[in-house]
Structures are given as C-alpha cells and as structure tokens.
Chains A and B, each alone.
Chain A
Amino acid sequence: MKKRHLNALALGLTATFASVMVISITGASIANSFRTNIDAMFGTKSYEIVEGADSARFNKKYTTVDEMINAARNVAIKEGQEGTVVMKNDNSVLPLAANGKVALFGIGAYATFPYLSGDLRAGNADAVDLKTAFTNAGFTVDAKVAEVYEKITNKHIETVVNPWTGEESQAVAYSVAPAVSPGDMVQFTNNEIPAGKLAEKAEVSADWVNAIDHSATAFVVISRGAGEGNTYSPTLKAKDYAGNDTNRTALQLSEDELGIIELAKSSCSKVVVLINSGNNLELGEISKGGTHEVDGIAYIGCVNDYQLTGVVDVLSGKVNANGKLADTFVYDNLSVPASRNIGGGIFKDYQIVAANSANGFDSRWPNVDIETGVYSSFASRVSYSSDSYIVEAEGIYVGYKYFETRYYDSIMNPSFKADDPAGSRDGNAWKYDNEVLYTFGSGLSYLEYDQELTDINIDKSAEGNITAQVKITNKGDKAGLFTAQLYAQQPYTQHDKDANVEKSAVSFLNSAKVLVDANTSKTVTITVPTKYLASYDASEGVKTYSLEQGDYYFTAANGAHEAVNSFIKAQGKTPTVGTGENTVKSWNSATDDITTFSKGYNGYGITNQVDNADINYWLPGAVTYMTRKDWSTFPKDYTLDANAFTIANSAKKDEWIKEFRGQQYKIQTDKPATEGKDLGMKFGVDSAIGDDVLANINDDYWSKLVSQITIDEALGAVLHGGSQTDVLTNVDNPNVSQNEGVSGFTAVLFLEDGCTYKEQTGSPVYKFNVHSQTLLATSFDPELALEWGEVEGNSGLWLQRYDLWGTGLTQRRTPYNGRNYEYISEDSMLANRLGAKILRGCANYGIINGPKHLGANDQEFKRAGLNEFMTEQKLREGDLRCFQAALEPKDGGGLAVMIAFNRIGSTSACQNVGVCANILRNEWGFTGIISTDMATNSYYFIAEAMVMATITQVADFQTGDNHINAGTGGVDAVWPYISVDSVKNDATLVEQARQNLKYQLFTFANSAVFNTKTIKLTPWWESSIKALTVVSAVLAGMGAIISIGLTFVPAKKED
C-alpha cells in the first residue's frame, strides 16, 4: 500500500513539475515579446547602451583625416595602376624608357574626362593631371605641344551657379574641352581642334611643329564625355568643333582626331593613343592594319583626381600592365546585336492607351486627358509615358557572349549557320576577325606569363561554391601584377534548343589579381557561387534555374577569346582565329537538376516572374529572339515603323493597357485599415535595440513599431520620402539625408586644425568622390573593389553621412548608353563580383550604399517610360545578375538599391511586383531600402502600384513632410486620388506601406545611422523564469524516475 501511495505521490509531482516546466517555457516566450513592458513594470533593464570609446558598432578604420585622405588617394592611384589596359603594344613603345620624353596631343590630354568637379570628379587641390603625372614620374613633357594645347584649352577659374540650389561657387573651367554631355540621341559635337587649326587657335606661328622633340613618344588622348540624360546616337553623324557636319558618328574617330594622330606620328618617334571614355570607340583605323595604325593603344577609362598617376605608372613600366577590357571592342558598333534595337519604336496604335473621352477616362483622374508620349525624365507631363519600346532581341548575347559564341559555333557547330551574313558588318559571310578587335578580358602584359587552371572543385549544393586553383607563372625578369580569369562553358543541349534556353559558349565567372616574383609561380584561389553556373529556364515544366546534365568546361585565360579557343582545342578542333591552349578541366553533371537552385532565400520557390516582359506574351510570334542554333536570327530592327507593334491585335489588350497605365493594383474599399496609435515605442538613436532584434526583421518588435505609423504617414512617408527620410510622429525615427554619387560622397569635408567636420566657409576642404568606376572595372580585382568600398564607407563616417547612391551596376547592353561610365561591364558576372565587394566594403562600415539602376536601365533616351521587351532568362542572367550578389545578405549585404526609370516589358520597373518584391525581396532576401529614380510624372509613377511593389521611398525630393501632401480638399498634391479617406479602407495597401517602412527602419537600425552598441542584460524576472524551468525540469525528471522505479520494483510481500 505504501509503495502505491509513494508512486502516486511521485507521479503527481511529476505531472505538477512537468506542467510548471511547460508554463515557464511558454511563459518565457510570452515575456520576451513583452520584454519592454515587463521591464517598465518592474523597473528593470534588458539592454544597456555602451557608453564611451567602445560605443559605436561601426568604427572608423582611419584615426586621422590625413590617413583617411591618404587611403582615398591610394585606392584611386591603384585603380589607375590596375585598370589601365594596354590593348596594342608594337615596336616596343611601352613601357617607356625611364626619364624619357613625351608629347601630349589632343584636347583630352589637358582636359581629361571628367575634368569638371561635381558628381563624377572630386576636383581636390592636389588632383593630378596627365602632364603632372608624367612630370612627377620623371619624364620631360614637350613644352611646345603643351603650350599650344594649354592656350587652346585655357584652364581657368569661373563663377558657376548650382542649378539646383542657386549657390555660386568658384570652379575650374575650360575654353575648349571634350564635350561633357554628348546629348540624348542627338547630333554629337566633337570639339577636337584639327591639326591645321592649332596654330591659329593657340596664336602661335605656323611652324610650331618644328619645335617638337622628335625623340618624344607622343600620347594622343581621345576623349568622350557622358552623363545622365545622355545617349550616343548609333547613326547620326557628328558635328566638328566648328559646327560643320562630318561623315563620322560619335563613337568613331573623327577626321580631326585622326588628323591629330597623323600629326603626332609625323612629329614624334612613336605614338600611343589613350582611350579616355566609358563608351567603346571604334578603333579599327588605328589598330593593326588600320589606315592610321599607331604603335600603342591603352584604355584609361574615365579618370578622377589621382588615377593618372597610376596610369603613368603603367605606361612607364613601374607597374606591369595588368588591366583587362571590361567590354568587347569591335570594328563597327552596329555589329553588336543589341545596337539594332536602341532608341525606341512607337506602337502603331499608341493612342489606344490614352485616357480621353473617346477611350474613356481614368477613374483616378476623372475628366483628365492623359496622353502617351515618353518625354524627358526631368519633365512633368500629363502622360502615361507608354508609347515607345525596344525589343532586346539579342537575349543573353550581349558583348563577348555573342561574338565568342558565334565564333565557337562557326567551328564546332556548322549547322548553326554562324557564317550567315546576318549581323556581319560588310554583308558578307560572318567572320570573327572581321568583327572583333579586342575582346572582353583581353589586355597585354609587359611581362610574359602563363596562367593555368590546376584544379577545380564544384560543390553542387545550393550554397556551394566553385573553387578553382589558378597558377600564374611569371616568366619575366621582375616581379609583376597579373590577372587570373576563370571561364566556364555550359552544355548546350537538345532541350535548350527545343525550349529556347540560350547558353553562351563561354562565360566569365570571376578573377583575381596576384603579385608574382620574377621567374616564379604563384597559385591563387578563385571562388564563385555554383548557382551562377545554372541557367534560367523559363519553359513549361521547368520555370526555374537549371543545372543541366552534361559536360561543363573550365579554364583560366587572358580573355574570353583565349578561353573559347582553349575549349575548342580541348574538344578536338582547331581554332581559326588567335590562340588558346590553356588547360581545360571538365566536370560532368550526371542529371538534369531543376531542384537544387530552384529555391531562394529561406526556401522561397524561384519561378517565372516576368512572363509579360516578353512581347510574345502580348503578341504571340511577334518577335524571334536571337538563338545560337540559327545565327540567321540576328535581331532585326523592331524600332522601325515597318516593324512596329499594334496593341489592339493582342488578345490580352485590356490587360496590356492596364500595365501601360499602371493599373496593376486597384485601391480597395471594403477592408478597413487599423489606424496607427502611439504605443510608446520609439526609435530614436538612443533607443536600445538588442542584437537579436537587429538581426531579425521578423521579430515582433518591428511589426509593433510600424503598427504605430498613422495611415496618413504610412502612405505619405513612402510616396514623398525621397532626398531625405523624415521623422514619423509615433516612431520618432532619425532624419536621414541621401547623398550622391557613383564616384563617392560628393559632400565636402571642411578641414581645420584638428581635422574635424565643421562647416566653415573659406576653410580648406576635401572631397572623397575620387573613384573611377571604369578603371575599377578593368582592374578585374574584387579585392580592390572591397578596398574602394571600405574607403567609401569610411569617408561616410568621417562626413557623418550614411546613405548614398554610391555605385552603378547596370549591364552595359550597348556601347551607346551615356551612363556606361558609371557601370561596370557588358558581362553580368564581372559586375556581380565587383559590385558585391563594393557594397560589402560599405556595409562593413554601416554605410547604406544603393547601386543604380536595377531593372535594365539600358539607355537614357526615353528612359522614363520606355517599354523594354525581353525574355526572363535575359533579365535574370543579364541585368539582375549584375546586382544580385551585391544585394544578397550573405554576399554583398547591400542595404539599398535604386530602381530603373524604364518599364520591364510594359510594367514600370518600380511597380513591378515580380522583380521588386518576389525576386529582390523574397528570392534574394533583400530587406533594405528600395527607391525609385526621380519621380516627376505622377501618371507614370503610380502611387499604389509602387507601394505594392515594396518601394520604401519615392524620389520626389520633398523634404520635411511625411504626409499625404495636402492638396485641395485634403488629397495628395501629386496623386489627387490618394487621401486618407480613399485609402483607409484598404488594409492591404496600408499594411504594405507600413511593411515598406519597416524595411527602411530596419535598414537604418543596421547602419551607421544607428551607430550604438548595446549589451544584453538578464533582468531578475528572466533569471527567475529560467531557474524555474531548470528546477521544474529536474524535479519532473526525478519524479518520473522514482515513479517508474516504483512501478517495476516488486511489492514487499506482507508476512
């Protein structure tokens, strides 16, 4: 009996303590959600802000401003050293003999683009121009040539007025210089002064050339400007310096430039042409066999304050030439397939989209006539901006992927009709060497070297990497920098042909820079995520990333052509142009894998998101995208009126018109939203937010925080949040200003003794926007990109500015885009790898750096509304891939992005839920700020559609106002159909706006905006719950053991 009672007692206690244990475990979870309230109730603290020297999460790497400035200067010089590409080097013209003589020709030599300080150029007092760089390196610069050009260019100081602020300042100016802005698909003016006019313009005697030192090596700088709102016309002939029409297009060398080159050839012993441009020039005339062939050609990109020091280091041989071209240079830019579709065709029946009495008015703007023309992105018009389009019929075949794949097929796949005249520049059978001058990844080295792929490992898991070992052997007599490049070839299968999945015959994966001593070898490891080896297959039954069955080939090579030749050789055939016998390793994928890479962040299923970006979705059969299985499908020009599309012919006409008008989302009226109320949660920079909350946007803290935002401010802060984010009433967040630009912060650091940041007029200043994106690109050096990112980040900490649009990653689709100098390459992986490092460098110091312009900003012309039709594979493997690594949390960790102006298909990029929400946020796991580009047209930038696409701020440049702007009758002044009354019964819209602000606040909290460190404390109530859990668990366990033991122990027999 006693045993049974004991057993019952033990069991009862077990049940008691087990119940207490579960209560304390679940109670701890409840308590954690209400930690702040419980702390307030008991007067305890769970987090403490660290005070004193260790109080910042993000600390400056440089302790003095001199160190900071030196770091900026040094990285800029390295860009020059690593980014200068020697394209041609004959007659031993380079490297220059030490302390020799040089003569600098061309207006670009004295006003090297960009030469005006502003967004692109810092213009610091210690900036180095080309003449100074040569002089500093010990060379003698021909005084006569310099005198002539300095008189012509006439560098001087002028008073300039800031067009945005009206502020006056003193700035450097030139009387004659390369055109800064080529214009937007207009006739370009080439300001080069012809050789025969130099004497007159410089007011020197006509025989001045006799005074030139013939022993000097001539450097002729050919420059092309660029900028926002500029697009080079592929076909319009340029004007000369005097305004006369020429027979040359903007990206061809003008007769005057060729004349200067001939002058240099006749005056000097040897001639090197320096290409100072972010847009690819046609260089056939000065290359090997050209009518104006020169000894050397070097690419120097668009420079800044210090890069020319590095450039001269390469020209002088102090640094081995190690830069590589980030784009393919061709004889004729029109032979680039994308060039066939640039500018914009007009839909035949574009008027069908207009809102008027004939078509019906738009209910959002009753009785308002809304037209359809696409105008300047800076103009505010009553227009849907819908009438223009281009078809990106080239698909994935941008740049070298076209030229090298077609070349490969000309040898390996004769049935693919690679020699078809379609696309050939002279109308004859297509031949590689008749089209391509200098390929992607090519660049000469002074030192002879080999690169060999010695080992490769493919980790086929979803988070796995391709790891390659590349051995560089320096066969030269001194140490030098070299660039290792890794390339791959994917199998092009029958399924691909059937399903229109395109595969390039060669794809760049990643690169590395390595310093190798003379006559030695060094092995460098190159890694790249395996997922980039998969292709996007949008076909029925797949609709995700696919790593197909078959053989994959890898090699290390000096450029895409050497790589593809190596593949050809390894596959048993003989290359017909150039050489390439590098080691090739192969790897076989035994099965078709459409599973491993079909999931994104947190397992989000990857599937088609932009089916309607393909014109064939709207008009089946309208376009034949170029396919390598038949190279005669080289794109036709769909911008011609004869090929224009008719909207009314679409079976999906009504759906299509909705896309044009931005009517993807209709404001609901039957689901009341909850009004935000002050719950006492504040987000000041002195608030303590624990690390666990900072790391998890899904923590309850964030939802509660934004639930306080009123309906008025939720919509208002998103729709009017550009230029700076303002304070939300119930949240009390900090005010954060945005900054430019792609060369670094344009803000000025005012220096004084002690080097602190104070605004004092007249004091010495420094500007940190010293970067050259073009030279970083041609460096092919991810570690240099990281170094620049960290310098950019640190400069933000010094300037106390934490948010900027600080790099550009859009794919360079054609040579004509005026923004190419802000971007990296025609190749999406080079942009992917370098972009990730730039943003990681900034994020390491808490700087919110938003790359521009995600969503295929392929031309400036008509960007504010241009319909860009493309396949999903092209978008994903092209432009989006350029940004992907930069914005994924585990890679670049970027905290912001700016969306392109244009449409993806017919859906505005910033209203594209498939791209902004599903791909960017869900697939990539991006939780940062998404901003539109400048929103001047409220009939194109549609408020509710932008909110639903998870935009966190619309760039309308209003300040000090987070509200639905008061227009007449309390409606928004920009979108009059938006008011508190009109949106308060759409809980979906309001909650999405709050969610978008959650991304914004979460990003600020994880940046230097919120630069405090907190430590976690354990208040007594938390300790008590933990203790209760442990004690009750132990006691429950003991009770269970006793009870079980008593059950199985035989009872004592009673005597």
Chain B
Amino acid sequence: MKKVLSAGNIITCLSCIFGLIGLIIYAVNVNSEGFFRGNRVAAVVTFGVIAMIAAVVVILLTILPVKGGAAKVVDLLVMVCKVLVPVMLMIAAMTLLANRVAGFGYIFGANEDVRAEVATAENIASAMVAMVAIGFDYVAGIAGIVAAFFLPKRED
C-alpha cells in the first residue's frame, strides 16, 4: 500500500485524471454548438491517451515486485514513462492550442466588425470550454513533471 500511495504515484494519478478530464472537456467542445463544433484534432486524443497509458504503466510498474537486474529494467521503464507523461500532455495541449488560437483571435481579439458577427454567446462558450480543456492538459502536464521528481523506493 505504501508503494501504491507514494507521493509520486499520487501525483502521477492526478496527472492522469486531469488529462482524462481535459480529454472529456475536449470531446464536449467538439460536440457542442459553437465555433469549434466538429473541429476535431486527432492528435489531442492520441497524445492524451498515450500519456494516460504511460501514467498507468508507471503506477503498475512501481508496485511490481522485482529484484536485481529486472528491477533496473523496470526502473528504467518507469523513468521513461515518467518523462513521457508530461511530454505527451504538453504536446496534446499545444496541439489543441495551435488549432484553437485562430478562433480565439476572431472571438476575443479581432476588430469590431468581426467580433460583432463571431463573438456570439455560443461561440464564446465554445472558446471558454476549449481553453478549459487546454488548461487541464497543461495542469496535467505540470503534474506529470512534478511526479517525475519522485522516484519509487525499492526495498532491498
């Protein structure tokens, strides 16, 4: 239990949860009425899922009872996955941001004529949801980075 509930695993778990929330909010964003309806970005899902799988792998490998040389290999895998989690989440966040930023510009930053047409309540809501999704991905990524500073203790 101690191993499972290690600080690193808890933060990794939080990272996974935030990433999942980010994916759910992204799914809401593309399926809801508004500026970004139907605007799917496959990479967001792909990288988000990879990140979550990596996070689960970290947790599972952490509790795997191994010793000696096998433990070294497992530790290496854990390290790789610990780096993979935040990197994948950052890619997901940045990819979604790259896709949505032009729309944010039209809705919030364009001239009056454009905003008069585009900055409807629906579109603003859609933009806000997109921002929240991006935000959760970033937070998940930061959590992943923090989790990387925690290595599992192995009992000799």
Q: Report A's interface with B, CB cutoff 8 A.
A: 4, 7-9, 11-12, 14-16, 18-19, 22-23, 26-27, 29-30, 33-34, 37, 675, 677-680, 1040, 1043-1044, 1047-1048
CA distance A118 to B141 in the complex (A): 73
CB interface residues, B 74-106, toward A, < 8 Å: 75-76, 79, 82-83, 85-87, 90-91, 94-95, 97-98, 101-102, 105
**Shortest Cβ distance from B151 into A: residue:** A8
Is B110 an interface residue, CB under 8 A from the partner?
Answer: yes
Choose from B76, B117, B144, B148 the contact partner of A675 (Cβ within 8 Å). B117
Is the pair A679, B110 in contact by a Cβ cutoff of 8 Å?
Answer: yes
Is the pair B98, A29 in contact by a Cβ cutoff of 8 Å?
Answer: yes
Choose from A4, A27, A680, A1047 the contact partner of B79 (Cβ within 8 Å). A1047
**Shortest Cβ distance from A25 into B: residue:** B94
Give chain A residues whose Cβ lies under 8 Å from the Cβ of B75: 1047
Give chain B residues whose Cβ lies under 8 Å from the Cβ of A14: 83, 148
Give chain B residues whose Cβ lies under 8 Å from the Cβ of A1047: 72, 75-76, 79
Shortest Cβ distance from residue A19 to the other chain B in the assembled complex, whole angstroms:
5
Give chain B residues whose Cβ lies under 8 Å from the Cβ of A12: 145-146, 148-150
Is the pair B90, A8 in contact by a Cβ cutoff of 8 Å?
Answer: no
Is the pair A22, B98 in contact by a Cβ cutoff of 8 Å?
Answer: no
Contact mask for chain B residues 108-135; partner A; CB cutoff 8 A; 1 contact, 0 none: 0011011001000000000000000000
Is the pair A27, B145 in contact by a Cβ cutoff of 8 Å?
Answer: no
Complex A-B: 17 CB contacts under 8 Å: A8-B150, A8-B151, A9-B149, A11-B149, A12-B146, A12-B150, A15-B86, A16-B145, A19-B145, A23-B94, A29-B98, A30-B97, A679-B110, A679-B114, A1040-B83, A1044-B79, A1047-B72
Is B2 an interface residue, CB under 8 A from the partner?
Answer: no
CA distance A8 to B146 in the complex (A): 10
Shortest Cβ distance from residue A762 to the other chain B in the assembled complex, whole angstroms:
52
Q: Which 8 A-B pairs have the closest CB atoms?
A: A12-B149, A15-B148, A26-B94, A8-B151, A12-B148, A19-B90, A677-B114, A15-B83
CA distance A1047 to B83 in the complex (A): 15
Given contacts A12-B145, A14-B83, 15 further A-B pairs with CB under 8 A are A4-B151, A4-B153, A11-B151, A12-B146, A15-B82, A18-B86, A19-B90, A23-B90, A26-B94, A33-B98, A677-B117, A678-B111, A679-B110, A679-B114, A680-B111
Q: Report B's interface with A, CB cutoff 8 A.
A: 72, 75-76, 79, 82-83, 85-87, 90-91, 94-95, 97-98, 101-102, 105, 110-111, 113-114, 117, 141, 144-146, 148-151, 153
Is the pair B87, A15 in contact by a Cβ cutoff of 8 Å?
Answer: yes
Give chain B residues whose Cβ lies under 8 Å from the Cβ of A30: 94, 97-98, 101
Give chain A residues whose Cβ lies under 8 Å from the Cβ of B144: 15, 19
Q: A11-B79, A14-B148, A15-B86 are in contact. Are A26 and B101 (CB under 8 A)?
A: no
**Shortest Cβ distance from B148 into A: residue:** A15
Shortest Cβ distance from residue B138 to the other chain A in the assembled complex, whole angstroms:
9
Shortest Cβ distance from residue A65 to the other chain B in the assembled complex, whole angstroms:
48
Choose from B76, B86, B91 the contact partner of A26 (Cβ within 8 Å). B91
Shortest Cβ distance from residue B154 to the other chain A in the assembled complex, whole angstroms:
9
CA distance A1043 to B105 in the complex (A): 42
Give chain B residues whose Cβ lies under 8 Å from the Cβ of A677: 110-111, 113-114, 117
CA distance A16 to B146 in the complex (A): 8
CA distance A22 to B93 in the complex (A): 10
Shortest Cβ distance from residue A234 to the other chain B in the assembled complex, whole angstroms:
60
Give chain B residues whose Cβ lies under 8 Å from the Cβ of A16: 86, 145, 148
Choose from A22, A33, A37 the contact partner of B90 (Cβ within 8 Å). A22
CA distance A1048 to B76 in the complex (A): 9
Determine chain A's interface SS by DSSP, over half rule.
Answer: helix
Is the pair B90, A1043 in contact by a Cβ cutoff of 8 Å?
Answer: no
Most buried by B among A7, A14, A27, A678: A14
Is the pair A678, B72 in contact by a Cβ cutoff of 8 Å?
Answer: no
CA distance A30 to B96 in the complex (A): 11
Shortest Cβ distance from residue A640 to the other chain B in the assembled complex, whole angstroms:
57
Is the pair A19, B87 in contact by a Cβ cutoff of 8 Å?
Answer: yes
Choose from A7, A11, A26, A1048 the contact partner of B83 (Cβ within 8 Å). A11
Give chain A residues whose Cβ lies under 8 Å from the Cβ of B82: 11, 15
Give chain B residues whose Cβ lies under 8 Å from the Cβ of A675: 117
Is the pair A1044, B76 in contact by a Cβ cutoff of 8 Å?
Answer: yes
Give chain A residues whose Cβ lies under 8 Å from the Cβ of B148: 8, 11-12, 14-16
CA distance A9 to B150 in the complex (A): 8
Shortest Cβ distance from residue A242 to the other chain B in the assembled complex, whole angstroms:
73
**Shortest Cβ distance from A1050 into B: residue:** B72
CA distance A27 to B91 in the complex (A): 10
**Shortest Cβ distance from B142 into A: residue:** A19
Give chain B residues whose Cβ lies under 8 Å from the Cβ of A34: 101, 105
CA distance A731 to B88 in the complex (A): 40
Shortest Cβ distance from residue A164 to the other chain B in the assembled complex, whole angstroms:
41
Most buried by B among A23, A34, A1044: A23
Is the pair A22, B79 in contact by a Cβ cutoff of 8 Å?
Answer: no
Choose from B86, B111, B114, B149 the contact partner of A19 (Cβ within 8 Å). B86
CA distance A15 to B111 in the complex (A): 40
Shortest Cβ distance from residue B20 to the other chain A in the assembled complex, whole angstroms:
19
Choose from B91, B101, B110, B149 the contact partner of A22 (Cβ within 8 Å). B91
**Shortest Cβ distance from B138 into A: residue:** A23
CA distance A677 to B118 in the complex (A): 11
Shortest Cβ distance from residue B11 to the other chain A in the assembled complex, whole angstroms:
11
CA distance A677 to B107 in the complex (A): 13
Give chain A residues whose Cβ lies under 8 Å from the Cβ of B110: 677, 679
Shortest Cβ distance from residue A41 to the other chain B in the assembled complex, whole angstroms:
11
Most buried by B among A4, A26, A27: A26
Is the pair A7, B98 in contact by a Cβ cutoff of 8 Å?
Answer: no
Is the pair B83, A18 in contact by a Cβ cutoff of 8 Å?
Answer: yes
Give chain B residues whose Cβ lies under 8 Å from the Cβ of A15: 82-83, 85-87, 144-145, 148-149
Shortest Cβ distance from residue B144 to the other chain A in the assembled complex, whole angstroms:
7
CA distance A29 to B87 in the complex (A): 17
Give chain B residues whose Cβ lies under 8 Å from the Cβ of A19: 86-87, 90, 141, 144-145
Q: A15-B87, A18-B83, A29-B98 are in contact. Are A8 and B149 (CB under 8 A)?
A: yes
Shortest Cβ distance from residue A430 to the other chain B in the assembled complex, whole angstroms:
64
Give chain A residues whose Cβ lies under 8 Å from the Cβ of B79: 11, 1043-1044, 1047
Is the pair B95, A26 in contact by a Cβ cutoff of 8 Å?
Answer: yes
**Shortest Cβ distance from B8 into A: residue:** A8
**Shortest Cβ distance from A1 into B: residue:** B153
Shortest Cβ distance from residue A700 to the other chain B in the assembled complex, whole angstroms:
9
Give chain A residues whose Cβ lies under 8 Å from the Cβ of B85: 15
**Shortest Cβ distance from B97 into A: residue:** A30
Most buried by A among B76, B114, B145, B153: B145
